[in-house]
Amino acid sequence: MESLNLFISLFLFSFSYFFLGAESDHLQHSNSKSLRPNRLFVFGDSYADTGNIRKSLSDSWKIPYGITFPQKPSGRFSDGRVATDFLARYLGIKSPIPYTWKDYAGKERLLYGMNYAYGGTGVFKTKDNPLPNMTTQIDYFERILTAGNIYSPSHIPSSLALVSVAGNDYATFMALKRPLTELPAFMQQVVGQIEVNARRIHKLGVKKIAITSMQPLGCLPSITVFASYQRCNATDNIATNLHNYLLHKAVARLNSETKPSTFVVIDHYNAFLTVFKNKGPEPGVTRFGKPLEPCCVGIDSNHDCSNVDEKGEKKYTICEDPKGAFFWDVFHPTEEGWRSVYSVLHKSLKDVWI
């Protein structure tokens, strides 16, 4: 990890000095304004997944996940609602049904859209994960459109696509122990594939596509645990900023191809930091006393939130009040964390889509 930190620091110092400018808005967007979308299609990972993974394959279906909403595990990687739910709430629609549950939903429910996101996935295949990456998720979407028995061609242009990428590709890069010198080129590949995916979704007829920036990876509890949850890892956040810079450039290219411009970046990075730094009353944003400390953790490094032993005894601890924690586990926000993030983002979303 020290060699990675040194490499990224040296490589990105000059890059960030000459090229990276802080985004003052929480949303990079086109100058065009239009009506609010009336359905939502979702692609991505655990920040967006609302229950696609089979119950036997994921901790998100185990207690204590879902204790806040819906008071039982629902396949969400949180104690309650996640990013998808809050974006849908902003649009004034119900959260889109998970793809794997489509056959159990009524036709009226399906008209709000569909969620193809699977926790643990990335734009490429991720380590030891057989679940569909984003390319395959878009394949599923295309098949649904081709079948024509749920959505007609008139439904799609008034829809919004959410593309969520939260870092699983980079976690796989590190797990495979690839040479650190390959990291900058790999970042280009990841963002390049996101660009390909977004362009493909647009060609399938979706006219509004929102792509989340990477959250500050150096602030995840899996990283801040080494600093007793007291501070973020600045070097990891510099690397995250490189990904986000490349993403903004990709979105600019996409918008140059479309009239009117319809691709946006939802700035999770700065929204997360805004919530972390909130020290006083800010409408809609909870003040978290220890924002980097997770609510649910394993009792030691060999266990995670939701783990039990062969006798069913808990091998995790949970905080007294999940609403007082920004992070649920070592990777994912609580419902209250997500609510605060989307409260920060609310104004910038309103500026674009109303």
Contact 275, 288 (CB under 8 A): yes
Contact 166, 155 (CB under 8 A): no
Structure tokens at 108: 């009226």
**For residue 134, which of 34, 77, 220, 212 has the smallest C-alpha distance?**
212
From residue 247, give the alpha-carbon distance in Å to each of 118, 165, 235, 271. Answer: 21, 11, 19, 16
Q: Is 346 a catalytic residue?
A: no
Catalytic-role residue among 85, 332, 343, 348: 332
Question: Angle 56-57-58 (CA atoms, 0-180°, nearest 5)?
Answer: 105
Catalytic-role residue among 29, 30, 45, 46: 46
Q: Which residues contact 146 (CB under 8 A, 6 or more apart)?
A: none
Q: Is 58 a catalytic residue?
A: no
Distance (Å, rounded) from C-alpha 119 to C-alpha 165?
10
Give residue 300's identity as a one-letter amino acid code.
D
For the chain, the residue count is: 354
Give residue 101's identity as a one-letter amino acid code.
W
**Torsional sign, CA 347, 349, 352, 354:** negative
Structure tokens at 41: 């299609």
Q: Packing angle between helix 134-147 and helix 183-203, nearest 10 degrees?
A: 10
**Residue found under tokens 């290219």:** 253
Distance (Å, rounded) from C-alpha 68 to C-alpha 137?
28
Q: Is 309 a catalytic residue?
A: no
Catalytic-role residue among 213, 329, 343, 348: 329
Active site residues: 46, 329, 332
